[in-house]
Amino acid sequence: MDFIKVSAACPVTRVADIDFNLENINICIDNAYKAGAKSIVFPELCITSYTCGDLFMQSSLLNKSMEAIEKLVYKSKDTDMLITVGAPLNYNNNLYNCGYVIFNGKILGIIPKSFIPNYSEFYEKRWFSEGLGIINKKVDFKFQKDIPFGTNLIFSSDNFNFGFEICEDLWVAIPPSSYLALMGANIIGNLSASNELVSKADYRRSLITNQSARLMSSYIYASAGVHESTTDLLFSGHLLISENGSLLKENARFQRDNEVIYSCVDIFRLNAERLKNISFRNSSTTLPFEPNYIKFQFNSTSIKNFDRFVDKHPFVPSNPKERAERCKEIFNIQASALAKRMEHTGIKKAVIGISGGLDSTLALLVVVKTFKLLGIDHKNIVAITMPGFGTTDRTYNNALTLCKELNCDLREINIVKAALQHFEDIGHDKNIHDVTYENVQARERTQILMDLANKEGGLLIGTGDLSELALGWCTYNGDHMSMYSVNPSIPKSLVRYLVRYVAEQEYTGNVAETLLDVLDTPVSPELLPKGATDEMVQKTEDIVGPYELHDFFLYHFIKHGSSKERILLLSTQAFKDDYSFDEIEKWLNKFIYRFFTQQFKRSALPDGPKVGSISLSPRGDWRMPSDASFNSFK
C-alpha cells in the first residue's frame, strides 16, 4: 500500500574515536532493523564526529574513517535497509563533507554537502570544499570502484525515491532538496550537525515541516548529539520525521544514549498530492541538471507493526485550540461569502427553512452573523418551520426557540394537508411510506421556501452539508436546491463542532442551551411518521451508516484518490476500537455505491463557498460524469 517505515538516529559518539562511533552506529542499525525500518539516516560526519576541527586534516583520521565505511558496507549485507551515514571524503585533493548511502554490501552513492557555512559559529571552509555543482562524478576505493558522486543522486526502489542533503543545505534560499524533489525524490534525508541556541529548535522544526510541505515529501532529519565537543557549542541530537507539512515523530532532545525514532511514511499520499498539483509539475522545468537515478531493490517493505497514527476525523483538528481557530475561520468564510452575494444582488432579506436539526441550525447561525456584518435587522431573516408527519416535539420546539431568541421573523407552515392533497393528486397511497412519500414532503417544503423568497424579495439559503452531498442524501429539486448554500463543503462531523463552537463562544442562556440540545438530537430528515410517544423512528445513520465513517471515506477518496483497499486499511486502523472490519467494509461499499449513483445531484448544485481542501462543486474541485460506473472502484 506504499507505506514504508523510516528512521532517524543519533548515536553516542566520542570526538575522533572512530571505532567507538562505529560500534554505536551499528547498535542503532541493529535496533532499526529489529523495528522493521527500511531506511536509517544518521547525523553529519557521525563516523568521525562533527567537531574534529583541524584533525580533519590528519591522514590517520581520514584513513580510519574509510575503514569504518568499509566495515559498514560489509555489515549492510545482513540488513534490507538503506543506511546513510556522514563521513569525510578526500577527492582530488579536496575534502568534502559527505553522506554515504549504503545498501546490501555496496555504496550506492556519495553526496557532498553543497553549501559550507562559514559565518557566526561555523568555520567549515577551513577544512571542507563546497559540493555545489558536482554531478555525475565517480569515486574509486580499494573495496569498490565507480561509486556515483554528486548532488543529483536519486536512490530508487519501486515507488520509494530517496534524496539527501546535508545540514546547511536546508538553510539556503534554494535548498538542494527542492531540486531533488522535482527530480522525483519523495523521501528526503538530512544529515545534520545543528548546534543549540535559545529558540533555534523551534525555527529548525518549522523549517523542516515547511520544506516537507513545499516539496510534498517526507523529510527525515538527524542531527549530532550532546557528545560532540562542547568547546564552544552544544548539540542536542534533534531527530524529526515530517511528511507534507505534518510532524510525524520527534524526539526529546539532549539524550545521552543511542536513540532511534521511527515512523511509517505514506508515499501514496505524497505522490497523489504531486500528481494533482500542476504547479509542482511545472516547476520541474527549472531543473539545472539531469538526475542520476540509482536503482536498488528492497526485499520487502511490508510493515509488521503499523504504528502510524491515522486520524479518524481528518476534517476536524484534534487540538482544541486549533479546532476553535478552524471553526472561527470557517464561520467567517461562510458569513463573508453570503454577505458578498447579498450585497451583489441588493437583497436585504433571507429565507431559510428551520427543522431543529444540525444543518439548518448552522445555516441560521451563519445568516445571523451575516446580517450583523451588513447591519441588517434580524427581522429580515424569514425563518420557516414546516412540521410534517415525522416532526417530533423536540426538533419543533428547538426550531421555535432558536428563531425567537435570535429575533427572526418566525413563521410556521404545516405541510401535512398539502402533502395529503398531493398524494391524492398523483394517486399515491398515504399508507405506503416509500421514497415518494418522503420526497413529496421534501419538495413541498422547498416549493414553499422558493415561493416565499419570491414573495418577500429574499434570498433562499440552502442548508445541506458536504456529507449529504457525497451520499446524495437529499431530494433532487427538494432540499437539494436553493438560491445560495452556505454549508456545501462542510462535512457532518465538522458541522457538529461548528455549532458547538458557536454555542460556547458566541451565545449564552436559552440559545446556547438549545444549540447543545440540537447537538444531542439524532440526525434525521423526519419524513416518516413519528412513534406513538413522539419518538423519532427515522435515523439517518441507521440507514446510510455512521457519518464519521463516511466523512473518513470521503476525505481519503477525494483528497488522495485512494482505492477501496487503501481506505479499508486506513479505516480499520483508525476505527479499530469502534467498528469491526465487516461493519467498515459494509458501509464503505454503501459509500462507493451512493457516491457514484448520486453524482447527478451534485452536477446541479447551487452556488456556495468552499471552506476546506475538499469540495464537490461541479464548477470547481469535482467534475465527474453523472453516469460514471463504480465497477472499477468497488
Domain ranges of the chain: 3-295, 320-540
As annotated, the binding site includes 119, 194, 200, 353-360, 439, 463, 468, 473-476, 601
Find the catalytic residue in 28, 44, 369, 526: 44
**565: CB partners within 8 A, 6+ apart:** 1
Find the catalytic residue in 52, 167, 264, 327: 167
Q: Is 484 exposed, middle or buried (0-12, 13-18, 19+ CB in 10 A)?
A: buried
- Residue 71's H or E segment, with its range, is helix 59-75
Beta-bridge partners for 4: 265
Beta-bridge partners for 409: 382
- Taking 3-state DSSP, the helix, strand and coil percentages for the chain, each rounded to the nearest 5, stand at 40, 20, 40
Beta-bridge partners for 106: 103
Is the pLDDT score of 329 beyond 90?
Answer: yes
CATH of 320-540, one of 3.40.50.20, 3.40.1010.10, 3.40.50.620, 1.10.287.990: 3.40.50.620
Beta-bridge partners for 102: 83, 107
Query: Considering the chain, what percentage of its residues have pLDDT values greater than 70?
Result: 100
Residue written as cell 416535539? 393
pLDDT tier, 1 (very low <50, low <70, confident <90, very high otherwise)? low
Cβ 555 vs Cβ 310: under 8 Å: no
H-assigned helices in 309-458? 320-345, 358-374, 393-405, 416-426, 435-456
Per-residue pLDDT of 576-608, as tens digits, reads 999 999 999 999 999 999 999 999 999 999 999
Neighbours of 163 (CB within 10 A): 27
Beta-bridge partners for 353: 384
Helices vs strands, H then E, count in the chain: 19, 20
Task: Summarize the confidence of residues 61-82 as an average pLDDT.
Answer: 96
Per-residue pLDDT of 6-16, as tens digits, reads 999 999 999 99
As annotated, the binding site for ATP includes 353-360, 463
Cβ 114 vs Cβ 141: under 8 Å: no
In CATH, the number for domain 3-295 is 3.60.110.10
As annotated, the binding site for L-glutamine includes 119, 194, 200
What separation in angstroms does the CA of 440 have from each of 227, 419, 443? 76, 6, 5
Q: What's the distance, Cα to Cα, between the start and end of the chain in Å?
A: 17
Cβ 351 vs Cβ 461: under 8 Å: yes
Lowest mean pLDDT among 1-5, 37-41, 563-567: 1-5
Q: Give the integer Cα–Cα distance in Å for 468 and 491.
A: 8
Average pLDDT over the chain, rounded to an integer:
95
In the β-sheet with 187-192, what is the strand arrangement from edge to edge?
A: 246-250, 239-243, 218-223, 187-192, 160-166, 153-157, 292-295
Per-residue pLDDT of 482-540, as tens digits, reads 999 999 999 999 999 999 999 999 899 999 999 999 999 988 888 888 887 878 778 88
Per-residue pLDDT of 229-241, as tens digits, reads 999 999 999 999 9
Beta-bridge partners for 247: 242
Task: Summarize the confidence of residues 271-275 as an average pLDDT.
Answer: 92
Lowest mean pLDDT among 77-91, 447-461, 516-530: 516-530
- Residue 549's H or E segment, with its range, is helix 547-560
44: annotated active-site residue: yes
Task: Summarize the confidence of residues 279-308 as an average pLDDT.
Answer: 89
Cβ 597 vs Cβ 464: under 8 Å: no
pTM: 0.89
Q: What pLDDT score does 282 carry?
A: 86
167: annotated active-site residue: yes
46: annotated active-site residue: no
Q: Give the integer Cα–Cα distance in Å for 595 and 557.
A: 10
As annotated, the binding site for deamido-NAD(+) includes 439, 468, 473-476, 601
Q: Give the integer Cα–Cα distance in Å for 56 and 161.
A: 32
What's at 298, amino acid-wise? Answer: F
Higher pLDDT, 101 or 279: 101
Find the catalytic residue in 5, 38, 113, 564: 113
Q: What pLDDT score does 40 carry?
A: 98
Q: What pLDDT score does 571 carry?
A: 96
